Amino acid sequence: MADLQLLLKSRTPILYVETYDEERLRLRLRAAARELGLTLYVWSVTRGLVCEGARPSAPEARKPLEALDAIRGTTWPAIFLLQDFHPYLSDPGVVRALREAAEEGPERLSTIVLSAPALDLPVELRRAAARYRLESPSEDEVRTAIVETFRSLRRTRPLRFDLHDSDLERMVESLRGLTLAEVRRLVTRATLDDGALDSTDLPQILAARREEIERTGVLELCEVTGEVAELGGCARLKSWLHRGQSGFSERARELGLPAPRGLLLLGVQGCGKSLAAKAIARSFGLPLARLDPARLFDKFVGETEKNLRLALETVEAQAPLVLWIDEIEKAFAEGGAGEADGGVGKRLFGTFLTWLQEHRAPVFTVATANDLGALPPELLRKGRFDEIFFIDLPGAEERREILRIHLRLRHQAPEAFDLDALVAATEGMSGAEIEQALVAALYGLLEERGTELSTARLIGEIEATVPLSRSRAEELEALRAFARGRFVPV
pTM of the model: 0.68
Domains 139-215 and 396-471 share a fold: yes
User: What average pLDDT score do residues 461-484 get?
Assistant: 87
Please report how many Cα atoms fall inside a 13 Å half-sphere around the Cα of residue 286, on the Cβ side: 23
Closest CA to 161 of 198, 189, 194, 193: 198
CA distances from 127 to 13, 18, 87 (A): 10, 18, 20
pLDDT band for 323, please (50, 70, 90 cuts): very high
Q: 139-215 has which fold?
A: Helicase, Ruva Protein; domain 3 (1.10.8)
pLDDT value, residue 111:
92
- CATH (residue range 228-391): 3.40.50.300
Each domain of the chain, given as residue ranges in start order, spans 2-131, 139-215, 228-391, 396-471
Q: What percent of the chain has pLDDT over 90?
A: 32
Residue positions counted in the chain: 490
Cα–Cα dist 265/386, whole Å: 11
Cα–Cα dist 291/312, whole Å: 10
214 in Cβ contact with 292 (< 8 Å): no
Phi-psi bin for 222: left (phi > 0), alpha (psi -120 to 50), beta? beta
CA 213 to chain centre: 7
What is the bridge-based pairing of β-strands 39-44 and 48-51?
Answer: antiparallel
Please give the angle made by the CA atoms of 110, 115 and 120, to the nearest 5 degrees. Answer: 110
Closest CA to 366 of 282, 246, 476, 270: 282
- CATH (residue range 396-471): 1.10.8
* Helix (H) or strand (E) segment spanning residue 288: strand 288-291
Indicate whether 208 pLDDT > 80: no
336 in Cβ contact with 329 (< 8 Å): no
Residue 74 contacts by C-beta under 8 Å, 6 or more apart in sequence? 41, 80, 110
Beta strands in 19-153 (DSSP E): 39-44, 48-51, 78-83, 110-116, 129-131
Cα–Cα dist 408/383, whole Å: 39
Cα–Cα dist 329/372, whole Å: 8
pLDDT digits (tens, 9 = 90+) for 152-195: 999 988 999 998 888 898 888 778 778 888 888 889 988 998 89
Cα–Cα dist 292/307, whole Å: 11
Cα–Cα dist 95/77, whole Å: 22
296 in Cβ contact with 252 (< 8 Å): no
Q: 2-131 has which fold?
A: Rossmann fold (3.40.50)
pLDDT band for 340, please (50, 70, 90 cuts): very low
Indicate whether 147 pLDDT > 80: yes
pLDDT value, residue 335:
44
